[in-house]
Amino acid sequence: MGCYDEIILYCPKCDEMYIAQSKGGECLLNRYTTSDAPIEVLGDINRHAPFTCIKCKTKFKAVVQAHVFMEIVEQDEDNS
């Protein structure tokens, strides 16, 4: 049995909680939400998809979208 991290998901139909496993990242047996999980953990979120909701039996998967934006970290005095 290997190590993994967990991500808390919610069924898109009935909102029942579902715990998905990921082997992306360091696999330190951490539990994350979709908003605080590292991108490498989210990258493996569907390893056992489709998930089946225990309550309503809906089959679902997670859709991960990464947003990249640029941010100035240092401003030259000549370019102010």
In the chain, how many domains are there?
A: 1
- Do the Cβ atoms of 18 and 10 come closer than 8 Å? yes
Contacts of residue 44, defined as CB under 8 A and 6 or more positions apart, other chains included, come to: 22, 23, 24, 25
- Do the Cβ atoms of 34 and 7 come closer than 8 Å? yes
Q: What is the value of pTM for the model shown?
A: 0.78
State the pLDDT at residue 76: 72
> Mean pLDDT in each 10-residue stretch from start to end of the chain (80 residues)?
91 98 94 94 95 98 88 76
Structural domain harbouring 10: 1-80
State the pLDDT at residue 80: 55
State the pLDDT at residue 6: 96
